[in-house]
Amino acid sequence: MIKPEMDGPSDFAVAARTDFTEIPVIDISALADPDRFDETAHHLVSVARDIGFFYLTHHGIPAALCEDAFAASREFFGLSDDQKADVSVDHQQRGWMAQGMATLEGAKTSDAKEVFFWGRDVAPDDPDVLQGRALVAPNQWPDRHAPRLKQQLLPYYDAVLDLSRLVLRALARGLGKQPDFFAPAYVNPLGRGQLVYYPPQTDTDRDAERFGAAAHSDFGVLTILMQDNAGGLQVLNKAGIWIEAPPLKDSFVCNIGDLLERWTNGQLVSTKHRVVNRTSNARFSIPIFCDPASEAVIDPRDFDELASYEAFAPCEAGQYIQSKNTRNFSHYKKQD
């Protein structure tokens, strides 16, 4: 339930502090037990319908992989801007995006954050690259200044994508499909990864009502987020109240994205959320956007035969996400 303690009225990012019933905690290890799979799957779908956000515990990803990923993030963002600019973000959303380059739709200001983007590690002659699939491209690894970044991130990335496949098996089952319904679309998933650095909030940020990440919903299918202990993630609940999503030890925050809301014809909800870093220290997070193959067709009639297409027309995953990118990130405008 929501507790009454709230931030002061002068704070532009007021949010209620909650316990872990507002954003449920799901023991994902229950899906390994055949006797508990269906029960857990239906519970997961119930949460995805009503809230769209939940914590995953007992996920099986080793702590060492998580620690390595965070260490890689701190090392990369510790480089100078000139060094990071060696891998400046490109049109396929790979590389480093400096502060001021992300202005989310409807936001007053640009976000107070830097991001390093990567995805499935493909070669220049990969068939999907040669065919021009949206958002399939070689990664930009900063080998000259952060030579260990690739080896530190990819094992974590692969483990999170495996976890997402388990969550999707449960969601499929809870929605009345066979557990392997999503599997064909995840043979070569987009799997977009981000390292995100939020500097401490300044007086200028407060005066401008500038968020680390302004209110938005995620573009893809399923997000699995690892956040540090700084806090600052906030979720808009069904009552229209912003609530805190505080760090929970050894857990991930998972949420439904726009494409899964479309795919299920609105049965599952893509919930708005935002980030504000009120601490005097940097905040780090690592979201993995666990999206299907670029060419995967997102068709609401897969889950609702009577879908009219008026609300959600079929679309290809990569093209949809890329269309959202072009409206939210300034480097597309600069390079056009």
Sheet arrangement for strand 283-289: 25-27, 53-57, 252-256, 222-227, 283-289, 192-198, 114-118, 95-97
| Secondary structure of residue 287 in the 3-state scheme | strand
Least confident of 162-176, 195-209, 320-334: 320-334
Q: What is the mean pLDDT of residues 217-225?
A: 97
Q: What φ, ψ does residue 19 adopt, rounded to 5°?
A: -95, -170
Tokens representing 313 are 């027309």
- Whether 233 and 195 have beta carbons less than 8 Å apart is answered as no
Q: What φ, ψ does residue 144 adopt, rounded to 5°?
A: -70, -35
Beta bridge mates, 275: 213, 233
Against a cut of 0.85, is the pTM above it? yes
Q: Cα–Cα distance between 177 and 304 in angstroms, integer?
A: 11
Q: What is the mean pLDDT of residues 80-97?
A: 94
Q: What is the mean pLDDT of residues 252-263?
A: 97
- Cβ contacts of residue 153 below 8 Å, gap of 6+? 69, 72, 118, 193, 195
Tokens representing 89 are 């973000």
In order of start, what are the domains of the chain with their CATH numbers? 2-335 (2.60.120.330)
Chain center to CA of 51: 16
Q: Which DSSP category does 183 fall into? A: G
Q: Is the dihedral of CA 202, 205, 207, 213 positive or negative?
A: negative
Q: What is the mean pLDDT of residues 21-30?
A: 90
